Structure 1
Amino acid sequence: MKYVDVYNKASNRLKEAGVPEYQLDARLLLESVCQTDYNTLLVHGDRTVTQEEEKKYNEFIDKRCLRIPLAYIVGHQEFMGIDFKVNENVLVPNQDTETLAEEALRELSDGMRFMDLCTGSGCIALSILNYTNDTSCVMTDISDKAIEVATSNSISLGFAERARIIKTDLFPKDNIEKFDMIVSNPPYIRTDVIDTLPPEVKSGEPYIALNGGDDGLIFYRRIIDNAGKWLYKSGWLLMEIGYDQGEAVSKLMNNAGYHDVEVIKDLGDNDRVVRGCLY
């Protein structure tokens, strides 16, 4: 069967299933199966798709019709120009979250140490390591399966010696260490909002990584209340937030003694990161 015909058939199936970007997803899944690129569809649409390729592609399309996130189907997702392994046990790295990594890079100097809470796939911490020299980090997560993903990414990207990964509920349980920075993308969606999210999120991504409690702020309170013990004086705390949480999280940080508290917007002009420096 011709490449373009296989693509068109799959695109129509995804459209009928209600997949928002059905044409893009059909193309990306076909490229993943056939190891091709966008140019193939434009210029080489008459390329023959083998029976084996078509079978695998149809399996991928079946999963996407069930609204399984595309990244989980192909097993990886790009973040900060780096390819990360992902599965259903971690959040899909999101372009908006790159704002957090970029802000961290503004304040981190070579040789500094930082901690990444709720690390998930490890995309934030490992991206920071990738774009700095001689930095090191501690990455934490409460999920065994998330720890497996982060560990795999750490090893495959060559950062195993610079990253220590710990299973714990936010902060390590051992002796308190000092860090120059703490970053986190914690669960921040209100419990009552989760059911209103797209199927890819509410059913596809791990609930434990989404649920921020009744007001969405439970993890911010816990982090802000404890981060000061782990930060050097003038150390930075940076956290991703929901679009409507800037004022509330800023107030929590100001009340806890942070200065230069600032809300940073993402490329979509939504509040995305709150940052502050410890007195």
Structure 2
Amino acid sequence: MRVSMSSFRELRMIGQEILREQRIADADVDAWYLLAYVFGISRTEFLLREKECVPEEGKLRYLELIQKRAEHVPLQYITGSQEFMGMDFIVSSDVLIPRQDTELLVEEVLAVCKGKKVLDMCTGSGCIIISLAKLSKLIKATGADISDGALSIAKKNSIKLEAKVEFIKSDLFEQITERFDVIVSNPPYIPTKDIETLMPEVRKHEPTNALDGSEDGLLFYRRIAAEAASYLTKGGYLFLEIGFNQGNEVREILQKEGFTHIDIKKDLSGKDRIVSARSFH
């Protein structure tokens, strides 16, 4: 690897070359983002300073992070942040990286949650419940997760984004003691056998316990559907993010547990993504 470069432009080119050699998707984009992250410069500043000599300490730091990305560590885990619903969330390997698809889930809940009590089950980074708390007037916002690491990140995000959210350590509803008007969840839903087929950024670095939905990927939908009605107010809403091919199966699970008004929403690519239902138990 050539390290004798002296300018911002040359350093960026070396970063691109290293990432391309390791077949990193969006190598050029990631090389730029890491440059901006290390040196705190905008694209305009880069264009004005691209021939400037790079400080040695910054050069070494940049190459260190480029090497991490070359090993398929997700960019978001390297920078420690991911944008979601227009807000900057802290992320680490303890939580899934928030995805654009999940913004659709938040938007669906926003349509009905004003003035209500909302529970986010399997909260992870807290991106769902914090976004809801920030973008709507909730009576109460609660996030639950079994992972201490995830809850730590979620609490940091609530402090950073000044969102009033209560977080509870719970194996699904185990420690939940009250009823909510809305329960929302993006649970693990990938079939165990499919984990090994995922891109290395996901397979090797994102938390398996937040991905693995058991043999058929439906374990958590069965558990949530079986228990949720006991924690919903009469007529309360349940919103679930699902895998692209799980819509009909999740619908059947909810119907079996007595849920009504079941609706499936598609994502921007036209694939089933959100299931909503109501409980009148």
- In the alignment, residue 264 of structure 2 is paired with which amino acid? V
Residue segments in structure 1 that go unaligned for 5+ positions in a row? none
SS at match of 2:132: helix
Q: Secondary structure at the match of 1:229?
A: helix
- Rounded Cα–Cα distance in structure 1 between residues aligned with 2:267 and 2:41: 31
TM-fit CA distance, 1:37 = 2.1
Q: Which one of the candidate residues 148, 163, 166 is aligned to 1:164?
A: 166
**8 Å contact from structure 1 (residues 166, 172) kept in 2:** no
The question of whether the paired residues in 2 share the 8 Å contact of 1:189 and 1:216 is answered with: yes
The TM-score normalised by the length of structure 2 is 0.94
**Aligned pair 1:223/2:228, yes or no?**
no
The alpha-carbon deviation at position 115 of structure 1 amounts to 0.4
8 Å contact from structure 1 (residues 11, 22) kept in 2: yes
TM-score normalised according to structure 1 size: 0.95
Q: Give the drift of 1:271.
A: 1.4
Q: Structure 1 counterpart of 2:117, which letter?
A: R
- What is the aligned partner in structure 2 of residue 120 from structure 1? 124
Cα gap change, 1:230 to 1:156, in 2 (>3 Å): same
2:243 aligned counterpart, secondary structure: coil
1:47 Cα deviation from its structure 2 partner: 3.7
1:228 alignment partner, SS class: helix
Q: How many residues align?
A: 275
Whether the 8 Å CA contact 2:169–2:175 is kept in 1: the answer is no
Q: Which amino acid aligns with 2:171?
A: D
Question: 1:41 offset after TM fit, Å?
Answer: 4.2
Q: 1:233, CA displacement in angstroms?
A: 1.2
Which secondary structure does the structure 1 equivalent of 2:66 belong to? helix
For the residue of structure 2 that corresponds to 1:236, the secondary structure is: strand
CA deviations on 1:204-233 (whole Å, 9 max, x unpaired) are 100100000000000000000000001111
Partners of 1:236 and 1:277 within 8 A in 2: yes
Who is 1:264 aligned against? 265
Q: Does the C-alpha gap of structure 1 residues 43 and 276 become closer, same or farther in structure 2, counting only changes over 3 Å?
A: farther
Q: CA deviation at 1:268?
A: 2.1
1:195 Cα offset (Å): 0.4
Q: Does the 8 Å contact 2:168/2:175 carry over to 1?
A: no
The reply on whether 1:213 has 2:209 as its aligned counterpart is: no
RMSD: 1.3
Q: Percent of aligned pairs with the same residue?
A: 41
Contact in 2 for aligned 1:129/1:135 (Cα 8 Å): no
Secondary structure in structure 2 of the residue aligned to 1:148? helix
> What are the within-5 Å matches in structure 2 for residues 235-250 of structure 1?
235-250=236-251
Residue 174 of structure 1: how far off its partner (Å):
5.1
Mapped partners of 2:195, 2:223: distance in 1? 21
Structure 2 unaligned spans of 5+:
1-5
Alignment of 1:143 onto 2:132: no
The equivalent residue for 2:3 is: none
Whether 1:81 aligns to 2:86 is yes
